[in-house]
Homo-oligomer: A and B are copies of this chain.
């Protein structure tokens, strides 16, 4: 079952065209991933970065923007696991306003050691929370 969270479209997200400036969507997407790591995977970003000296940088992104989002709207984000690698993780994040799709983002993260920048195998304490939702339970584009 995909992880779900909501973000309000704030003044700070909007551009002179009155719609979300797309780099701000990626701040929201990063916040969705951050909350999913804290609430589902059980490793908050502070522990991950500061205590464990690891990180989960983004290796690739494929994003389709279906329709613009406007100031004051509330977006519902769903995050689902598409695939799990030894050191990587493929996620799908979908944002909607009501039943209108706004974006579909396929992101691939890598687990790395902060000092060396080298990929690390996911520890079992994290990996067993990576339950593949897609393609069956995958949020529609």
Report A's interface with B, CB cutoff 8 A: 10-12, 14-19, 21-24, 26-27, 30-31, 34, 44-47, 49-50, 55, 57-65, 68, 70-72, 114, 117
Q: How far is the CA of A57 from the CA of B21 in the complex (A)?
A: 9
Could you tell me the dominant secondary structure of chain A's interface residues? mixed
- CB–CB A46/B70 < 8 A: yes
Q: A22's contact among B58, B65, B70, by CB below 8 Å, is which?
A: B58
How many copies of this kind of chain does the complex include?
Answer: 4
Min CB–CB distance A54 → chain B (angstroms): 9
Residues on the B chain within 8 Å of A50, using CB: 16, 18, 70-71
- Cβ of A14: which chain B residues have Cβ within 8 Å of it? 15-16
Nearest 10 Cβ contacts at the A-B interface: A46-B72, A23-B26, A46-B71, A14-B16, A17-B55, A61-B63, A16-B18, A60-B64, A23-B23, A23-B27
- Report how far A46 CA is from B55 CA in the complex, Å: 20
